[in-house]
Structure 1
């Protein structure tokens, strides 16, 4: 099983993905980190500035295709714009189980207002840019996703457990594996 997390920049994909990988005892892969390896260590920010968005999206599509061909299980966190290309949406939906971590632009702005690494947010009005990106991308994330989870309230552990329960209910993972995982992260409540 490949479990893929999609969503806006700063939506928690890498943080939740790392935790899910640990809980399921399977590799966690961040597509942005894999892209930087593919670029020989050049940062996405620098490559984006030097080569432009179209060239970056070409590399991103190639890396996602390669990752989805890997054998074995993994949790995959994608970049926020991975869904912009239909080929990526189709591949992710067909070759993995996709969870959309949905966050509002205002919530994302609170998390990202001091971030200097995300190329698309290095603009005079980052909140306006987040609202614009959200309006463009939310329908694409939904089209790609098997499951949509709101990120506004839950903790990272709460989100991970919600994802595990969703994939268990869908019959995509052994319930015993989820029970062991969720049980290990939730402290038991004392009985009466």
Structure 2
């Protein structure tokens, strides 16, 4: 099966040459593992496939490509783990990576929940490749932004592409995939995501509204502001989307609650929780799920 998939989905991989040598000492092993993760974090990963979503009674051939080089500078790229949290993240990732057995990790959650940022962190510490499903869809239609795809082709067209992208990715291994907020509404998408491990990033709606209002809603096709305060309108629309999707999010294997993290850390505001802390909690919850 995977051989067939690789004919249409080509991912440039890095081969761990260290695996051909005898087992190193503990200190040598840590250096080797660190170097492997550093090199993987700089990996240029290209995904090329033919996507043929149905539009009415006809199919449209779409080419998909994506690069993971747009990840921000990280603790891995800098070559040092500077804080206690960084060290905890590194240690936890080394513990859990062998247990994953190459399974993909799908991040789901409402728009603005930080799936892309968390996904990039997890991909770097686990030595996985990172993909954003929305970016893949944009590139499949010539670089057209999601908001413009909705305007030009409609939501059904976008959802068809989204499902096909998830289908292709589900046949691969060692990927961290950030999904769009609405990917959870189609049961078929869960069929594909459940081939790996799905992680729900749960952020309170008021915090989401603050984040999205701060950066604007131009790129959010499902957030249409009416008259009045931008935050109020955003929160109102997010609440409506939550009503439609909240039950679907319960299909995720793992739930990472920012309220729970904030409580454990003694923060009153979930906005004080850092991406690194969220990534650590995600690994802890994934580990607990694997032990069941």
CA distance in 1, matches of 2:138, 2:255: 28
Pairwise CA RMSD: 1.4
Deviation at 1:170, TM superposition (A): 3.3
**1:88 equivalent in structure 2:** 189
- The total of aligned residue pairs comes to 169
Aligned residue runs from structure 1 range 22-101, under 5 A = 22-70=124-172, 72-93=173-194, 95-101=195-201
Structure 2 regions of 5+ residues with no counterpart? 1-102, 227-232, 260-269
Match of 1:156 among 275, 284, 289: 275
Q: Secondary structure at the match of 1:76?
A: strand
State the partner residue of 1:184: none
In 2, Cα distance between equivalents of 1:161 and 1:137: 26
Q: Does 1:111 align with 2:211?
A: yes
Larger helix share, 1 or 2: 1
Q: Which structure is higher in RCO with an 8 Å CA cutoff and minimum separation 6?
A: 1
Higher alpha-carbon Rg? 2
Runs of 4+, deviation exceeding 6 Å = none
Name the SS of the counterpart of 1:49 in structure 2. Answer: helix
- Contact kept, 8 Å, 1:109 with 1:126, in 2: the verdict is yes
State the Cα distance separating 1:64 from its structure 2 match: 1.1
Are residue 169 (structure 1) and residue 288 (structure 2) matched? yes
The residue correspondences of 1:120-131 to structure 2 (distance < 5 A) are 120-124=222-226, 125-131=233-239
CA contact (8 A) 2:106 2:198 kept: yes
